[in-house]
Structure 1
């Protein structure tokens, strides 16, 4: 098994065709076919099924894909480290789509003014993916939802934010003072992907209230959710920070939902390993930006702060 076989498999998986993969990789289709056959022979499993012009992953292919993707991410992280001369001045952060959209830009801008010349790389993923990246040294710090840690990763709660229900300003329910989920039984709900932590929280509320939305529109990123919201395509649960400008310009309306608030916890994820000075400084800066109390003693020791 070699790198070309893995990259070819991932290209076939994303393009869903051998022709598309050959275009993406800049090689001939017979080359793509040969690499896939070699990989399947080495694994002793069929990874794809051809259906007309499409290439569909088999159950074995679906399982293998997550491991191949992770292996390529770890390799890319290693190459980046070796190629980047000023390792001591590098900062690789991973955050959820919500955090990277709503909180990270301002946080990074303020830190960058304090620490000049830092090489910054930002990754976006779900909480489980981010925790894996930290374990595999693909990322150095993470911003995740919840407080359930993984082995060798410490979670430090930063803050909680409420998820509000937003609709387009011309929505029929926009004039209501208070609404219930069942008032939106015919509505389309704009949500994140299946592995999105915020979606888990929302679906938990749906189950609590025995509510089943009529339609669900799944988006990969918060920015896409906002665009669909602005187009009047449905309702979305978001923190106010995600739509601050749209609220100010009255393009969207926040609906007051009956029942208890829907709260989401954001935590700083710190891997249990040696980190460079800039990463340690950013961890401390991030904690101070959201909390007045000191870092927990065990995390201070982990960061080499005594």
Structure 2
């Protein structure tokens, strides 16, 4: 099987469209269609169902996609291994939404400036999905809140590097009275990201302990949306302190610190490329540059007690 055909097949599968795949690859649509048809002829099986302009994977296509991810990842590793002193090619990075906003802008800019031949692709998702994508070769590395909920990972298959310690806060409506032990909350809903998010699980567990029953869940796609719902008095939310540090004027809500959680840089065991080493060093250098001196406060105490 030709690696180029596999790459085109994977792109069509991701985009679910020949038109969008052609635009992403910088090819004409007829060439993309021909390449997919060649692959189908070589394998003797249809890989897509054509539903209008949408391309939907067949069972055979789903099977091939897993192998294509692994084959193309190994090919990229091999190319990079031949140039151990040169970070080039492609590195697929996954991160939680909050990490991509608060932790990655400076390191990514530094890598881009120092290694212009290295392409960094960034994807955001909940922690459990990111780990699954690393294991299935859809991502090379990921920054996740450890451990992801509902995921049984064999330590022999993964490599872990602790990177950040995030302080987590429960956001409550401005009119909510102070939280005291044994007193139930005045809200029974929590606004969170979709299932698989470590912070979501922590928030649900905290509210269950406070109220004595599992909270209703409102799934949203961003922290501004979560905080807007909390401000409207409808629900609680869970937010990393680092997200509030990014805001010029944090909303005047009741903030309750609950726990710290480590963010891990995870890869497949044995994964070691110049691109990965450059990326990891950029993260570590930025962390050293932004860590407060010993004895200095790690965050502004007043932010944790913001009141209406």
What's 2:86 paired with? Answer: 87
Residue in 2 that maps onto 1:210: 214
Q: 1:72 to 1:129 in 2, by over 3 A?
A: farther
Q: Conserved in 2, the CA contact under 8 Å of 1:166 and 1:235? A: yes
Partner in structure 1 of residue 193 of structure 2 = 191
Post-superposition shift, 1:4? 3.5
Partner of 2:167: 162
In the TM superposition, 1:43-54 aligns within 5 A as 43-54=43-54
Residue 28 in structure 1 maps to residue 32 in structure 2: no
Separation of aligned partners in 1, 2:80 and 2:214: 48
Q: 1:144 to 1:45 in 2, by over 3 A?
A: same
CA shift, 1:143, in A, is 4.0
Alignment RMSD (CA, Å): 5.1
The CA deviation at 1:28 is 3.5
Whether the 8 Å CA contact 2:168–2:238 is kept in 1: the answer is yes
Structure 2 residue matching 1:40: 3-state secondary structure = helix
- For 2:32 and 2:156, locate their aligned partners in 1 and report how far apart those are by CA, in whole Å: 38
Residues 114-193 of structure 1 aligned to structure 2 (within 5 Å): 117=114, 122-125=120-123, 129=130, 143-146=143-146, 150-151=155-156, 153-166=158-171, 173-178=173-178, 183-185=187-189, 189-191=191-193
1:266 aligns with 2:268: no
Offset at residue 56 of structure 1 (A):
1.8
Residues 167, 242 of structure 2: 8 Å contact kept:
no
How many corresponding residue pairs? 267
The answer on whether the counterparts of 1:143 and 1:266 sit within 8 Å (CA) in structure 2 is yes
Alignment of 1:32-43 (within 5 A): 32-43=32-43
Note the residue ranges of structure 2 that are not aligned, 5 or more in a row.
148-152, 295-308
Conservation of the 8 A alpha-carbon contact between 2:160 and 2:264: yes
8 Å CA contact 1:131, 1:142 repeated in 2: no
Distance of 1:135 and 1:156 partners within structure 2: 19
